[in-house]
Structure 1
Amino acid sequence: MHAKVVVVGSLNMDLVARAQRLPRAGETLPGEAFFTVPGGKGANQAVAVARLGGSVAMIGNVGDDAYGQQLRKALEVEGIDCQAVSVCEGVSSGVALITVDAASQNCIVIIPGGNGLLTPQAVQRFDALLQAAEVIICQLEVPYDTVAWTLARGRELGKQVILNPAPATGPLPPAWFAHIDYLAPNESEAEALTGIAVSDQASARRAGERLLQLGAGKVIITLGAQGALLVTEQGHRHFPAPSVQPLDTTAAGDTFIGGFAAALVRGLEEGEAIALGQRAAALSVTRAGAQPSIPYLAELQP
């Protein structure tokens, strides 16, 4: 059976330390807890697709270390096709060093490792996966030329192409927009892409309309507790967020993207797919960690 969703992106091991406060330069602090959690935006989104009812393949790189083996195993146990998760010799796997304080503020250092070696040629080796897919998902934790190639190939093949522009630090290359069916930033990413500060539905609509002008097919701006806004050439539609008490927002956006894509390939209508992604993301923020927080389809309320 061919995977209906292909995720091209990053795999990271998150190394998380908790302390009362973040250390100052040159300071050593006692910590309270340490744990490792499989993450990376690409891998998180693949896990979300798998848990929320879609068949999915992952295209990405890990290093030839223990973390690489663990990251691949974490995907395989979810039933994700990992034939295109390649091992880069002599390189570490992607790692995120995360320190979290008592107020849940954090500081993060990301080492790309194998993710930085995911070239267009590496993706092209697995073109059969792209040809067999219905939906292709990209993010921005792998080299931009690889994202650019994958978006263009997805358009050439006539697939539904989703770009989650995270982490976004500025505008996207103009040529990308014509290849994107769904551009799905959060508030800060939408601001980075457009220069429009996004804080509510009205500003999100302005940012979404600007992204349409640049050539994106449709735009979904996620607004956390304020829900999500779908902006299309026909108008806009707001989707209120389920009310929850958040514990940890890590991977909430990835859960939304995966849930949305899984719903599309299961035949749900666009609005239903957005609503399902929102329900999944809302449940994920009530749990700690990246991949451990992502719910299964059976857990969602209709």
Structure 2
Amino acid sequence: MDKVLVVGSLNMDFAVYMDRRPQAGETVMARSMKLVPGGKGANQAYALGKLGANTAMIGAVGTDTFGQQMLRNLEQVSVNTDGIKKIAGVETGKAFIEIENSGQNSISVIAGANAAVDEKMVLEQEERFSQTDAVVMQLEIPVPAVIAAAKLAKAHGKTVVLDPAPARKDLPDELWAQVDITKPNETELALLTGLPTGTEEEVVTAAQALIAKGVKHVLVTLGGDGTLLVSAEQVEKFPAYKVKAVDTTAAGDCFLAAFMSRFTGENFAEAIDFGAKASAIAVTRQGAQTSIPTVEEVQNFQ
């Protein structure tokens, strides 16, 4: 897709690195902490920009230092930030991330300005929808805004992409009916559908439940086990690349952005492979946007 519009969240990540995450009531000593620009929407916009896509974003930040830093970071990779509102008196969104030695993490999010993204804010940006090829959304902003964005994108004949995270059970059918591509992992897929996803066969069945709601293509990311592409006509599995993960933060965001940066509407195999390579590189690095590779790094990845 030559032009991609991202509608979503911007968070400043407080990333804490430790041997293991604490259990309930336990105190664990951490090794270090980093402030890293994040938020699923901003991560995907940043990765799209860095990987060469003509990218714009709609969202909201506060007028605080974190908001200014988030915007500067996106602009460094040529993302158009004119659609990101700066709201006085509201804090920029924040995420608190605990990362173990294995690279696995736990994340708590304070929505802040992200909660102010509403239908009105989306509809005010209709011209941006008319000028793009695809619209990418997530669920860290209010669902009514996501539905409005999906409907507006569909009305303009654009490809509608939903990263359904953080996953929730109550997404309405009117949203699913607008979606061309959705990218859950197996845990998110189970929550979205209420169906088990413990085996590959169960993953396919759960993905087909989304197809029945109107979704055209479901990309289920399975971590080290690769990616399953499920549509009404096909089920196909694509391999992952084996690496030693140090931080899985934003790996899914990197995958989706890299996929979209190469997707023409038909070349699923090529775009999925590019996404798999990009996310394999990202998990070997710390942080969200700081982990995103360049086009050259992805092309040279073995």
TM category, shorter = over 0.9
**CA–CA separation in structure 1 for the residues paired with 2:101 and 2:131:** 46
Q: Call closer, same or farther: CA 1:233–1:268 in 2, change over 3 Å.
A: closer
**CA–CA separation in structure 1 for the residues paired with 2:280 and 2:27:** 36
Q: Call closer, same or farther: CA 1:245–1:28 in 2, change over 3 Å.
A: closer
**1:174 CA displacement:** 1.1
Say if 1:200 and 1:226, in contact at 8 Å, map to a contact too.
Answer: no
1:215 corresponding residue in structure 2: 214
Q: Write the letter of the residue equivalent to 1:241.
A: A
2:63 corresponding residue in structure 1: 64
Say if 1:200 and 1:223, in contact at 8 Å, map to a contact too.
Answer: no
**1:169 CA displacement:** 2.5
1:236 corresponding residue in structure 2: 235
**CA–CA separation in structure 1 for the residues paired with 2:263 and 2:19:** 42
Q: Call closer, same or farther: CA 1:101–1:152 in 2, change over 3 Å.
A: same
Say if 2:9 and 2:59, in contact at 8 Å, map to a contact too.
Answer: yes
Query: Following superposition of structure 1 onto structure 2, how do residues 1-302 of structure 1 map, counting pairs within 5 Å?
Result: 4-22=3-21, 30-102=29-101, 104=103, 106-264=105-263, 269-301=267-299
**CA–CA separation in structure 2 for the residues paired with 1:108 and 1:218:** 28
Q: Write the letter of the residue equivalent to 1:223.
A: L
**CA–CA separation in structure 1 for the residues paired with 2:24 and 2:199:** 36
TM-score (norm 1): 0.93
**1:197 CA displacement:** 2.1
**1:136 CA displacement:** 0.3
Say if 1:171 and 1:192, in contact at 8 Å, map to a contact too.
Answer: no
Q: Call closer, same or farther: CA 1:27–1:101 in 2, change over 3 Å.
A: same
Number of equivalent positions? 300
Q: Secondary structure at the match of 1:287?
A: coil
Q: Percent identity?
A: 40
- RMSD across aligned C-alpha pairs, in angstroms? 2.0
Contiguous gaps of at least 5 residues in structure 2: none
**CA–CA separation in structure 1 for the residues paired with 2:149 and 2:187:** 24
Q: C-alpha deviations, 1:110-155, integer Å up to 9, x for none?
A: 1101100011111222211111000100000000000010011111
TM-score (norm 2): 0.93
Q: Secondary structure at the match of 1:161?
A: strand
